[in-house]
A = this chain, B = another copy of it.
Amino acid sequence: MIYATRRATFNAAHRLFRAELSDEENLQIFGKCSNPNWHGHNYILEVVIAGNIDKTTGFLIDLKVLRDIIDENVISKVDHKNLNLETEFLKNKIPTTENIAVGIWQQLVNKIPAGHLYSVKLYETENNYIEYKGEEN
């Protein structure tokens, strides 16, 4: 068993809020992240695959193949997008880093051709990041 990580980046706008609350109530819960005019981030994504080394290639998974899977299933849906308005897999979700990470997990979990998805790590800023391993509580 070995773990292979591929890093990717994307830039997106978002707003943290619940539609049924007023701007003032959202401000109280989400602070300046609830700005109705949006703000945004350079997100850094790390996708970790666990599995065995293929003896004929020496790879767990060809990381260029993994890169293309991440591009098609995640990056194309979030890069230079408004995560609240344009990202189908976040529809009706508050686009917190937690919810984005879980959404990315669900986009990828059935698309991995070798080994299996082990972890999704998502950095929102240099000080904050979320990791999700598909664990049920």
Interface residues of A (CB under 8 A from B): 1-9, 11-14, 16, 18, 29-33, 35, 37-42, 51-53, 56-60, 63-64, 67, 79-82, 85-86, 93-99, 101-102, 125-133, 135-137
Contacts and interface: CB of A to CB of B under 8 A. Distances in A.
Chain A, interface SS category: mixed
A5 B124 CA distance: 11
Contacts of A51: 137
A31 to B, nearest CB: 6
A110 B30 CA distance: 25
B130 A1 contact: no
Given A33-B80, A39-B12, A58-B98, A5 B130 contact: yes
